[in-house]
Structure 1
């Protein structure tokens, strides 16, 4: 406890900042009096409690950082993460497949599962660019929008259905990914982030102002839903519908469950392709680019092709997700493709751990599922959610799954080298 006084001073300064931040919306409350006029009342007890909890949390965190054991064996950490993933991944997969089939599960929870799986797919697509190739992309929502509008325009002008437009949406998004990749080949870091952010805004402004093609701010309506071998999911029933063919009562849960399994299959396809590519020379080139671009160039790796393939493949999966989003909503507009969407997907990748497939799933459940489940708490849900995120980033600053092991290592020599470096004997 030799750092007791500095820790107390640090905790007091954090508590003072919390007092300034919490004062307006926790210490004050607007209400109505008997005459119907607005009144302003104070809540000193709630404000003091919030500041005290902040002080205690900061002080305990400093003590934990001071006394926690040092992690000197990176090999043990990676092996522990591998053992955890060995059991967690099958359990999550079984739970995801069985969730809509659980008797009594409400349609709202299945729809929430559809939303979470959509962001899981987006996170896995962006993980190729950010987590594997190390390229900071703040305009990923542009490919999401390209996929959605590609399907909507093809369906509106040529009468194509979801299954015909799904591969085309991915190809169009991949083409735009290559178009983004060429201007940023020589950029890195903050400059790359600024250019990709500008690209996302350009796409949004184009679809907003090109009214004759995209409908502008009014968007596109009556986007067709996916069919099951020609069967539609209509509440009216009758011939040609799922309920009429199987002689069951029409239920909104039928279409929601079908959409759930579609996005689950698309997300699993994204994961499978990513894992396979990581074991190929292309995936190893992405990881080399992420670790050191100069060393990657010195090894004779073509940086242009490596970056372009990362942008194109990541954009393709974003296009698939956009196509699904359009068919799920049956309506799209520029308001659905703002920078906030890119920031959310990037936060999922970073919070889960850049390069980790399992981490993206866990982060998507936290980032998307928790706020939806806390809807009943109204204004306090975002406060609780923000505090939870801050806590997670303090405890796990590199994400849920913090290992960053290369797909291919040098075997026993790599293990010995890691141990020597961790023990300070190198």
Structure 2
């Protein structure tokens, strides 16, 4: 097993806050929300809803025949990965394919292709299902496209553990590199589920926030006393991981060090969070990174703005760090909840926190009883780069993941 550090040498993102990682960081610094009112599909019983949708065309230049192979979430994966891979300075196709891996997370995979096929089958007398439907829908489609694009032949992992998917994919890739199975890993996640079928399912569950009557962009309010639920988002985020020796050998520099990974399972309930499970993931991540709680200077919370979810997370943080023991914010207030891609996007935001030296705010908090035990960042604060960062991703099904970053 390799004990050397694992560096992050490239990051990329596309979401409602913009087409790249810099746009994400700028919007978080400004407190600018990407949430807007979406039309829904009233004819099918889906009323208008608040969501963080990508409005700009995806910046991919490919012929229509090639584009036909992709669901929207795979196209988003390619866009974020292109930015991360380019920033890393690696050759266009891996020079060592048998030592290069991909690990990707998604909750529903090709849900838009699935919606299209159902629509064709159920509404037309002579349905013509697209011949690429299966390869668009399958959960590993994005990872497969990335492996082919960049020549990644060491391993391909696709994690579908609901809202923890991409965070767990990143953690498992860290293990691959530490165990000497690869020198490079392209990691991240993508999600595109803003279609009538999946939105109707979320609405029926009763966990989506209604559009704010005064300002729809403020519909998501993590840690606020008036929080009413999550706001769905779409997008993708990617990171390039490398062993320190591999990166140094080619003259690359690190944006941050991926220092720790903790994973636990509640085994309690399909949708209700559990503070015990979250605490175990947090403590496991700190132990993996060789840190004490006092050495952490910021936590990017899972923070979905559900009543129970935020309260349970505040409790688990207080157990580990002490009441108000660490600054915490939930960036989902601005970019929405990307479900399987959320952990990767939030980790990219954490890398940028280290790079820029400023903590992102937890937007739209007016009053918060949870501030008795959680030090919620309402306004930008300076980040002490001598300390580390924890990013939390907690999922339906009881899967909890915490990742630890530190500066080089």
Structure with the largest fraction of strand: 2
TM-score by length of 1: 0.23
Structure with the largest fraction of helix: 1
The structure number with the bigger radius of gyration is 1
